[in-house]
Amino acid sequence: NWIAGFFIMIRRPFQRGDQIKVGDIEGTVQAVETRATLVKTYSGRLVIIPNSDIYTRSVTVHTAYDNRRMEIMVPVGLEVDLNQAIEVFREAVLGVEHVLAGPPPDFLPWEFKDNNVNIRVRWWTKSQRTYEVRTRAAIVAAIKAASEAAGIALPADTKISFAETPLLVSQPAAKKQKRAEKPKTPKKAAEPQPEQPADEARDPEAEKPKLGELNEGVETLPR
């Protein structure tokens, strides 16, 4: 671990503030000691990773570059005009905040599945995880709203699960009459929640790489 820590200090594969993934552990680098690398997960937990694991395993550095590409799969019915659907999706995606205009988003008819055509929607955004989460959620909502406005019906799940199918149980006539007379309370429509802007100063998922030594500030971390 000490030798691996020495080489990490020399080679500097990442900086403090970089967001990395090592095996099942993913988070932001807080500091590097001679024995271990300290990573804060996105859920606010401190993980101490032995430096030998860092040096001998594959490490993904999400913030090594300024931007990265994300994608989702959107199914449409076989009867849908793909050119029209792609144009509707393109306008919806380009209207989402933090989606980069260059490189431009891709909309690729990818495969036939379950009597649908899956369109692969790919876009570029900033490399920090907060922009991945926010743009993905906003794009799903934007595509759904744009599809409804354009009359493009997104297919529903047609699979039948017997575990979730309710059973019809016969009841006495009196109970049926009493239940029928009970007035139904109309459900209040849920109000749309405003999108929360990404606050880089207070969002731990928006942390940026920091210049300086890898072991700076290690004494301030909870141990």
32-69 burial code (b ≥16 CB/10 A, e <16): bbeebbbbbeeeeeebebebebbbeeebebbbeeeebe
CA dist 110 and 119 (Å) reads 5
The whole model's pTM is what? 0.69
Over the stretch 182-205, which tens digit does the pLDDT of each residue have? 555 554 444 444 455 555 556 666
pLDDT tens-digit readout, 116-148: 899 999 999 999 999 999 999 999 999 999 999
